[in-house]
Amino acid sequence: MSQPRPPRPTTALEVKGSEWLTPHMVRIIAGGDGFEDFVSNGFADAYVKILFAADGTAFSEPIDVAAMRETLPSDQWPKTRTYSIRSIDEDARELAIDFVIHGAEGIAAPWAANAKPGDLLQFVGPGGAWSPPEADYHLFVGDESALPAIAAGLERLPANARGMAIVEVHEHPLDVTHPEGVELHWVVRGSNDYDPGVLASRVRALKLREEGLSVFAHGERESMKQLRPIFKELGLPRERLSISGYWAYGRIEDAFQAEKRTAIGKV
């Protein structure tokens, strides 16, 4: 019988500041003494699971997740919300996480929108498994949820890299560093209704070839489902394709995570 995986380490950081990158995205900088407990895994798509109390409020003191799971009923366990790490500054002992803000909906976004210096940011992780491999052509595809990982991946490419990044956003494209040979295309959704086929139509129009191609595609679940057949038709090997859903339209994260174990949740 396989042994259960040990719990990932818990890190408790202090909010140092915030920066509104657009009217719908805020960057939280966190660090402090708790950074000593954080161990980077080195991946461009590194993510953490931010912890909130069962009622959706933020914790004011560090917690022991493993102990809570052993002693409390499941409806009192911490809620988690998954976010990519945008950047890590080992010298300053700080990291940055970007939050997409959807008004007052959800748990993590309202917290980030109102976070102030001194607030506690507590999470487990990091997880992650991807960094840009050597390739002749790099394709990045995603939406706001994948933008931190896409931006981190673009920054790691060699100066002579070639490729393209296609990013769907609500509005206000960001200033993202990328090699000169990598094109950056923004698909601005604006006030239009969400269309899960937008990214797939853009990618299919590229008429890609499998040879030398590397793909990083992450974002809304149905959007990713429409992308996968394109890469399957190309015969792209698994080691050069990273694709998954980061969220699902009309679902809170608890429902989205639960559906990952069902047919509807498979990408």
Considering the domain 10-127 in this protein, what is its CATH number?
2.40.30.10
Q: What is the pTM (predicted TM-score) of this model?
A: 0.92
Which CATH fold topology does 137-265 show?
Rossmann fold (3.40.50)
Q: Decide which of 2 and 152 is more confident.
A: 152
Ramachandran sector of residue 212 (left: φ over 0; alpha: ψ -120 to 50; beta: rest): left
Structure tokens at 13: 């950081």
The tokens of 182 are what? 């990598």
**Quick one: pLDDT at residue 207?**
92
Burial of 67 (0-12, 13-18, 19+ CB in 10 A): exposed
Q: What is the biggest distance separating any 2 CA atoms in the chain, rounded to whole angstroms?
A: 55
For the chain, the domains span 10-127, 137-265
Q: What is the per-residue pLDDT across 172-185, written as a single tens digit (0 to 9) for each?
A: 889 999 999 999 99
Instruction: Say if residue 224 is exposed, middle or buried (CB neighbours under 10 Å; 0-12, 13-18, 19+).
Output: buried
How many whole angstroms separate alpha carbon 177 and alpha carbon 155? 6
Q: What value, to the nearest 5°, has the Cα angle with vertex 156 and ends 99 and 190?
A: 40
With 70 as the cut, is the pLDDT of residue 6 above it?
Answer: no
pLDDT at 221 over 90: yes
The DSSP 8-state label assigned to residue 67 in this structure reads H
Predicted local distance difference test score (pLDDT) of residue 217 = 98
Q: What pLDDT shows up at residue 205? A: 96
Q: Tell me the pLDDT band of 7, cut-offs 50, 70 and 90.
A: low
Q: What is the pLDDT of residue 189?
A: 86
The token pair that represents 64 in the structure block? 């022991």
Could you tell me if 121 and 133 are in contact, meaning their C-beta atoms sit under 8 angstroms apart?
no
Residue whose C-alpha is closest to residue 158's, from 174, 184, 130, 182: 182
5 band by pLDDT with thresholds 50, 70 and 90: low
Question: Is 153:216 a contact under the CB 8 Å cutoff?
Answer: yes
For the chain, what's the residue count?
267
To the nearest whole percent, how much of the chain has pLDDT over 90?
Answer: 75
| pLDDT value for 251 | 85
210: helix, strand or coil: coil
Helix, strand, or coil (residue 76): helix
pLDDT in tens, 153-207: 999 999 999 999 999 998 888 999 999 999 999 999 877 778 899 999 999 999 9
User: Which pLDDT belongs to residue 1?
Assistant: 45
Average pLDDT value over all residues in the chain? 92
pLDDT, residue 3, reads 54
